[in-house]
Amino acid sequence: MTRILIAGYQHETNTFAPSLADWAAFNTGENFPAFVRGQAMQAQLTGINIPVGGFIDAAKREGWQLVPSAWAGATPSSYVTRDAFERISEAILEDVRAAMAQGLDGVYLDLHGAAVAEHADDSEGELIARIRAVVGPQVPIVASLDLHANVTERMLRLADGLVAYRTYPHIDMADTGERAAVLMREHLRAGAKRPVQAKRLPFLIPLNAQSTWMPPAQGLYDTLARIEAETGCMLSFCMGFPASDFAECGPVVWGHGGSVDSAVQRLYELVSEPGQWRPDVLPAREAVAQALSVAESAKAPVVLADTQDNPGAGGDSNTTGMLHALLQQGAGKRWPGQVALGLLYDPVVARKAHEVGVGASLDLALGKAVLTFTGQDSDPPVQGRFVVRALGMDDCELKGPMMTGVKVRIGPCACLEIDGVLVAVASGKMQMLDRELFRAVGIHPEQMKLLVVKSSNHFRADFTPIASRVLVAKAAGPMAADPGDLPWKKLSPQTRTRP
């Protein structure tokens, strides 16, 4: 029976962000399953919309015997610490060595592709290299990657197959794991690596321009699928994570097999036109003013994305620029209890809310001023009297299309009201990508006039269907909406920071 080892390492590294991803972060998991190893890994990750879940389902159909190793994921932040990376790497390598002793036919890795460790800029490439040193040149290594992967030459050279998501918000994660299984099957049948070709774009693409729910990405990925069908190759286009300061940060087009040279060139010519990648982002106060105007006559909520404090891109989900803008323009007084913001990470305030209970008032400072990529602090905490409207606890099962069935840990949480504005406060960092995260504290998104979500694009999958309008706002925070604003030090001089 064909034996395939499976493992995972997921982290999106914003090297300009304030908080490191240490070993505790991988054990907490928050918006990922917590670190898990051995048979418990396969049991826990089967049947959920993440890449390894899709690979497991495909492997069962193929009749492969899976050897589960370790899976580790942590909320996007700054560098993965040396200690955390070495613990994860050694756990996987130990299992690879043991599996090789019993006979191993392949290795599948569920990777992000934009993880930067303190001592290894290309930490996924480093992990693949270490595994390759153990299994030798004959055992295939296949990996799935996030659409935001910063794909390196080393990753392409040392892996036998790489394939990336095609949606952002990422609703095809399990599907991508299944495509990785196709690459594995083809390699096992051929007994050799399929031809590979890659081309790197000469500029960074802002995160807010990358959504596949709107042009240009929407049409470009449709074209990718058509080119793939016409040429018999498997294509991928990673738009990159434009906040990882290392030489090979940036978008890459690549493909495996078939007429790969012509396929990659055709797709590259379409995606490398720079003018199409300039997003529409509004300053915080202007975004709120426009949202209030639209909401006056709208029959569904107006949704505002607080993109520069997105905890899915390295923010800590605790800045207050958007909350200040709502209060200064009287949003809650206009529609009391129908304006909501979340998730705001403040475990101290969440604990106090639980101590006093529903209906009680608290005089406190909510949120935090953090050092941003500009070298200046973000907006100060919001000081005032808050009323506890609802309380919630720990695990929340997501029901939206992106991570259906995944249970995330947001810790003790609460709905606090100030001047008619509802704030969903959590003890764990979690991007607002699912309406269940509001419902966890008694806020019903469909009943709101205005919603502020700490997210950049992932929210679109579950919130666009209920939104009358979606606006992207730029309040002070750790994640630059424009990568040209970042103080780059290691980026290749051949890569422009703006399209």
Where does residue 376 rank: exposed (0-12), middle (13-18), buried (19+ CB within 10 A)? exposed
Could you state, in order of their start, the residue ranges of all structural domains in the chain?
3-277, 282-480
Q: Residue 407 — very low, low, confident or very high, per pLDDT cuts 50/70/90?
A: confident
pLDDT of residue 409: 85
Half-sphere exposure of 110 (CA within 13 A, CB side): 30
Sequence-separated (6 or more) residues with CB below 8 Å from residue 120:
85, 126
- Do the beta carbons of residue 260 and residue 162 sit within 8 Å? no
Mean pLDDT of 167-180: 96
Question: What is the homologous superfamily of the domain 3-277 according to CATH?
Answer: Response regulator (3.40.50.2300)
Condensed to tens digits (0 to 9), the pLDDT of residues 195-233 reads 999 999 999 999 999 999 999 999 999 999 999 999 999
Among 318, 301, 326, 296, CA closest to 421 = 326
Q: Per-residue pLDDT for 31 more than 80?
A: no
Whether the bond between 251 and the residue before it is cis, its omega within 30 degrees of 0, is no
Say whether pLDDT at 408 is over 90. no
Residue pLDDT, tens place only, 312-338: 898 999 999 999 999 999 999 999 999
Q: pLDDT tier at 371 (50, 70, 90 boundaries)?
A: confident
- Confidence check: pLDDT of 29 > 80: no
Average pLDDT estimate for 415-440:
96
Q: What's the predicted TM-score (pTM) here?
A: 0.90
| CB-based burial, 459-485: b 16+ in 10 Å, e otherwise | bbbbbeeebebbbbbbbbbbbbbbbee
d(CA 347, CA 332): 24
Q: For 438-496, how does the pLDDT look when each residue is reduced to its tens digit (9 = 90+)?
A: 999 999 999 999 999 999 999 999 999 999 999 999 999 999 999 999 999 999 999 99
Q: What is the pLDDT of residue 469?
A: 97
Residue 203, pLDDT score = 98
Confidence band for 57, pLDDT divided at 50, 70 and 90: very high
